[in-house]
Amino acid sequence: MMTNMKAARIHSYGAPEVLAYEDAPRPEPGEGEVLIRVQAAGVNPIDWKIRSGQMKDMIAHKLPLILGWDVAGVLEAVGPGVTNLKTGSPVYGSLNMTRNGAYAEYVLAGVSDVALKPTTLKPIQAAAVPVVALTAWQALFEIAKLSAGQRVLIHGAAGGVGSLAVQFARWKGAQVIATASAQNHARLRELGANEILDYKAVRFEDTVENVDVILDTIGGDTQERSWGVLKKGGILVSTVSPPSAETAAAYGVRGELVFVQPNAKQLTEIAQLIDAGLLRLNIETVLPLADADKAHELGQRGQTRGKIVLQVVD
């Protein structure tokens, strides 16, 4: 049996060049685990935050570490106690971020971290979905309890999380107000946004009021200026920085931080929406696994309009 595999991993925290494409031990599944032969791995901001050391006080990692927690692939083996997934099944998932990730030819996953891949998506497309989709889903539905008829303001609506949040909110029957640069307005209209504001030309707080939910993917000054547009009892959910409890209380609203959690049941529901043609994806760049460092450089520039994916096998 092959005992090694190719992987892109870090031995120390730092700039993109600390990512080394090299041989690493191939893992074997234990109780309640599955081994995935990776076909593609999505690249997310959390990847370079962990690589740079920004998250080391929040998530404990043992180095060397394989990055990448978005995965699509085929089940190579299942561990003891796994009965709901079979070898050879095409799967996708959001992996546990405390463990090795999917910038590798093989990765271990908990049985609750993965679901059957949407049948209408190729692995490259499926690998772009889990982390951003689960983040949007958990922010809107688990934390904010968004319901039909409510008004939601989505900051950074053209980004990975934001663009799926627009689609989830419209599917739920909410009214969507989106902030994005002008070049992304046409696409956001296609995704279902009811109102779109160019954040470079308009201060949203001058035109928006009485929203039920704000999804903040920007943080900083944008988050601070958002409190006043919420109705009493409304909620601001941020993907980037913990909202101030004191400020929220002063406005009579709530603030929460969402930190994505693997969830096979939600991934199954999301796959059904994708296969029903209700969700659209935007993949901008596909690079080989050996170019993981280039993927990080590209992503950190913040100029991509779509997802970056690493192709592990053809």
Give pLDDT, residue 106: 98
Per-residue pLDDT of the chain (314 residues; tens, 9 = 90+): 568 999 999 999 999 999 999 999 999 999 999 999 999 999 999 999 999 999 998 888 999 999 999 999 999 999 999 999 999 999 999 999 999 999 999 999 999 999 999 999 999 999 999 999 999 999 999 999 999 999 999 999 999 999 999 999 999 999 999 999 999 999 999 999 999 999 999 999 999 999 999 999 999 999 999 999 999 999 999 999 999 999 999 999 999 999 999 999 999 999 999 999 999 999 999 999 999 999 999 999 876 678 999 999 86
Best CA proximity match to 40, nearest among 291, 223, 281, 310 = 310
| pLDDT value of position 197 | 98
* C-alpha to C-alpha distance for 55 and 67, rounded to whole angstroms: 13
Judge whether 130 and 42 are in contact, CB under 8 Å.
yes
b/e 48-71 (16+ beta carbons within 10 angstroms → b): bebbbeebeeeeebeeebbbbbbb
Q: Which structural domains are found in the chain, ordered by start?
A: 4-129+281-311 (3.90.180.10), 132-257 (3.40.50.720)
Q: Residue 306 has what pLDDT?
A: 82
CA dist 116 → 32, 65, 70, 93, 224 (Å): 16, 26, 14, 9, 40
Can you give the pTM of this predicted structure? 0.96
Task: Report which residue type is found at 56.
Answer: K
